[in-house]
Chain A
């Protein structure tokens, strides 16, 4: 009860401040939507009609929205400022971010140059920052006409504010861009700096120009240091530093040969760039938005989160005014830049990976390594097919029919590959049912999931007639693995190509893991029989690659390599997968439908009797 009083009081305070600036103020009520696994809702926004009816007033979230109309604008466009704020547990960082946003908002209510309306959304973040913003956006973009109407009078006492509040949902024009403003809780002890978070769901990025604007204004006008996330563990790694030094030397040598060649960069810059690139790729590949800005990207609105991180912690800060002034100047500059635009951002890149706040790798460049990785797959598949059809002992061809059957031999392998992919689909749907069973710990869940997967795979293989190693295989069976590998490679290639369209970073990371294994996989029997140094090395490589490419192993290895916090548990994998499907990430589908079946097929080839 005490909490709810504080909630309503703080909300009322914010609304009164907004009203003081002659803004249009409304409350927006929403039901918190718990993230659940909806197998049919990949790539679609969740439907708001799935709302359980027994939600009480206490569990309703309430956003406060203030709108300033541009005095001479046409009212067709709007810019959104978002400050996430938890009324139940107000911390100083959030309060400061409210202060920054209010100072900007009060300035904007007086300026003459507004061409777009300004919306200030104070998002109620008690059920998560993302869900409140996405609920408001859903209402803004796709109004529901027959939804459950929350009786706001019974749930809150908004009517007590002098009756100036607008009832119902207020809109401005098309949202041109959005800016989520946060203030970090802890001081970073170095300098006032600014963290930028840009990744939205499925690796979508806002237009690079938005990041450039923030970067330019922060660095050149407000003298803030800009930071984007990095893989910190990479910064200290010896081999990367050595590589950087080597590249620097090569660059210097090249410049001595021809002053026009300027590809050499300092070693520390190279290391920092690599760490940032790795992080950028990881967060894009994950497909999970890194902040509330992700909700905007679902409606094709460019948005980023800027987190101002003061030198000293806000609790110890004794110059709040100065801090608000600096932050406000930055936000004002960004808002004015967007305000001056005539169209949405479209001049710059949407597909890029950041290597520093001001540098990036564009789609044209980063496609090349992926294409080089993917290109061998169809070539090797073709050559294997030729190999298997040529070396089949040619029985005297009796008729044309026999010959044509001979050339359709790959159908058998294709059937096998298809069934394994179906198995992959089944495995990825299983968590949907596991979630329904209450009271399971992540470890239990993972155990059930893993055992089901293995069991079903064994059953499938027995049904398909897995050749037992006891019987002496015929010559045709010996050659069958080549055919199987050829079809597997084709399937992998198609899967990776499709994934590269949906989420490039996932496809790139996945290709790095699976492509070497796919290309090298050959029956261990052959290598053991040959008993030469080369074949034994090959067999070892194959086993190692097979281990690395197994999804849980790959996850744990990467986690231990890049996450220095320690404490690795197998249940982390379940949690990670859970977060993937909860955010509708296509990476989850990729792992279940492309990566896992291809890995299983390669393992099958590895242990093929020949």
Chain B
């Protein structure tokens, strides 16, 4: 009888150890899958908004950038995820008739420079060097987190730039130039470092399309306000302020977004089709060959807003592959009663119970080493379980089985210890 009891105990221990080893294995395999970013979920949104010119007569560029800043904030990207680079010499310029206010329309209804404008890089900080540092994330140690682009492989990034440009370059504050090679190189580095999932580059300058010519990295979508050899024009002059206050391309982009709210489902292609070359006085250019998804299916809020699908996952520390968890399958999981924290806590308590049980049994028998050895011994059972996992290819199925199996074992062992 004693012998029989010991055998049952051994079997129990074997199963438990198997289970522990197996759970560890699941975690490893999940981590391995997530390293390829194409398959990563879109988890967050960032925006980098750059006004590359300064001086009073470039008022419209600051107004462009601030307008877009306001739009993406309205559509849900929070300030901490917006890197705003502005020369910022307009609002308090002595020439400004409306001190500390910036307008993008001559009706003056909307003050873009109202409350809550967080400028991350200001004045002479807006340099090519800082711009590239922000993109590639190579900062000096003293740079605060608020000035860094802390994106990851699940990020959608909107990069908006406006200023004066030419054939394959963009001027930064009349003193430096960003070349198309520099931009392409920075984007490539970002890709390699897994700093974005998808990147939308929107540029409003003269000959904007030339800035994209060197891009190679997949997942990049680019929109420019004009083709090579074309100028991008300002929309209208505000005779009260005394200068042009907005550029055409940005004006019509904003006009498109003013009709939208956070929950609208307008697609990127509807944005692209809204540009009328006659109104722009230039031809908007889209480079989509690096972008895999169909533009008809991508909502604009994927870049200009921060609207996430709410997904219940059953594991807190793992990121999940699109293949298994995306789309329709999400709903199935929503249908199940397990939430991730539930499962987690259940498993933890189980582990603790098992451990408690184990120590209790150790005290009784002092045969722990032997037990583990026995478990190692029965290799054929291990291979059978692994085989099951591979054939089923459903981890959760197995976990559920394991949990169900554990219940009678738990009852049995408590009964024994009584």
Contact = CB atoms under 8 A, between A and B. Distances in A.
Q: Do A and B belong to a common assembly? A: yes
Given A336-B242, A340-B57, A342-B56, A72 B97 contact: no
Contacts of B92: 72
B95 A339 contact: yes
B99 A340 contact: no
B94 A115 contact: yes
B243 interface: yes
Contacts of B242: 113, 336, 340
Given A112-B99, A113-B96, A115-B95, 4 more contacts: A112-B97, A113-B242, A336-B242, A342-B57
A173 to B, nearest CB: 12
Interface residues of B, number: 13
Contact of A115 (B57, B93, B99): B93
Nearest to B241: A113
A342 B97 contact: no
Interface in A105-131: 111-115
B97 A111 contact: yes
A73 B94 CA distance: 5
Given A72-B99, A113-B242, A336-B242, A342 B94 contact: no
Contacts of A336: 242
A113 B243 contact: no
A70 interface: yes
A74 interface: yes
Nearest to A112: B97
Contacts of A111: 97
14 contacts: A71-B94, A72-B94, A72-B99, A73-B94, A74-B94, A111-B97, A113-B94, A113-B97, A114-B94, A340-B57, A340-B242, A340-B243, A342-B56, A342-B57
Contacts of A74: 94
Interface in B56-72: 56-57
A70 B56 contact: no
Q: Which of B55, B57, B95 has the most CB of A within 10 A?
A: B95
Contacts of A71: 94
A339 B57 CA distance: 11
A111 B97 CA distance: 8
Interface string B308-348: 00000000000000000000000000000000000000000
Contacts of B95: 113, 115, 339-340
Interface in A181-224: none
Interface in B32-65: 55-57
A115 B243 CA distance: 15
Contacts of B243: 340
Interface in A464-482: none
Contacts of A113: 94-97, 242
A71 B93 CA distance: 11
B158 to A, nearest CB: 31
Interface string A311-347: 0000000000000000000000000100110100000
Interface of B: 55-57, 92-99, 242-243
A258 B31 CA distance: 72
A113 B238 CA distance: 14
A115 B242 CA distance: 13
A73 B96 CA distance: 11
Contacts of B97: 111-113
Contacts of A115: 93-95
A112 B96 CA distance: 7
Contacts of A340: 56-57, 95, 242-243
Nearest to A74: B94
Interface of A: 70-74, 111-115, 336, 339-340, 342
Nearest to B96: A113
A74 B92 CA distance: 12
Nearest 10 CB-CB pairs, A to B?
A115-B94, A72-B94, A73-B94, A113-B97, A115-B95, A113-B95, A340-B95, A112-B97, A342-B55, A340-B242
B379 to A, nearest CB: 82
A342 B92 CA distance: 15
A342 B243 CA distance: 13
A220 to B, nearest CB: 12
A72 B95 CA distance: 8
A114 B94 CA distance: 6
Contacts of A342: 55-57
A194 B219 CA distance: 61
A112 B92 CA distance: 11
B164 to A, nearest CB: 14
A236 B98 CA distance: 53
A70 B55 contact: no
B171 to A, nearest CB: 16
Contacts of B98: 112
Nearest to A72: B94
Nearest to A73: B94
B55 to A, nearest CB: 6
A71 B96 CA distance: 12
Nearest to A71: B94
B262 to A, nearest CB: 37
Contacts of B96: 112-113
Nearest to B97: A113
Contacts of B94: 70-74, 113-115
Nearest to B240: A113
A114 B95 CA distance: 6
A115 B94 CA distance: 5
Contacts of A72: 92, 94, 99
A601 to B, nearest CB: 54
B98 to A, nearest CB: 8
A401 to B, nearest CB: 66
Nearest to A75: B94
A71 B94 CA distance: 8
Contacts of B55: 342
A610 to B, nearest CB: 65
A213 to B, nearest CB: 13
A336 B242 CA distance: 8
Nearest to B55: A342
A336 B97 CA distance: 11
Nearest to B54: A342
Contacts of A114: 94
A339 B93 CA distance: 12
A361 to B, nearest CB: 27
B59 to A, nearest CB: 10
Contacts of A73: 94
A77 to B, nearest CB: 10
B234 to A, nearest CB: 15
Nearest to A337: B242
A113 B98 CA distance: 8
A464 B97 CA distance: 75
A334 B66 CA distance: 30
Nearest to B95: A115
A340 B240 CA distance: 13
Nearest to A114: B94
A72 B96 CA distance: 10
A115 B96 CA distance: 9
A526 B57 CA distance: 70
A345 B120 CA distance: 34
Contacts of B99: 72, 112
A3 B154 CA distance: 88
Nearest to B93: A115
A111 B240 CA distance: 12
B406 to A, nearest CB: 76
Q: Which of B92, B97, B243 has the most CB of A within 10 A?
A: B97
A339 B98 CA distance: 16
Nearest to A116: B94
Q: Which of B56, B92, B243 has the most CB of A within 10 A?
A: B56
B258 to A, nearest CB: 29
B283 to A, nearest CB: 24
B95 to A, nearest CB: 5
Contacts of A70: 94
A113 B55 CA distance: 15
A72 B93 CA distance: 8
A114 B99 CA distance: 12
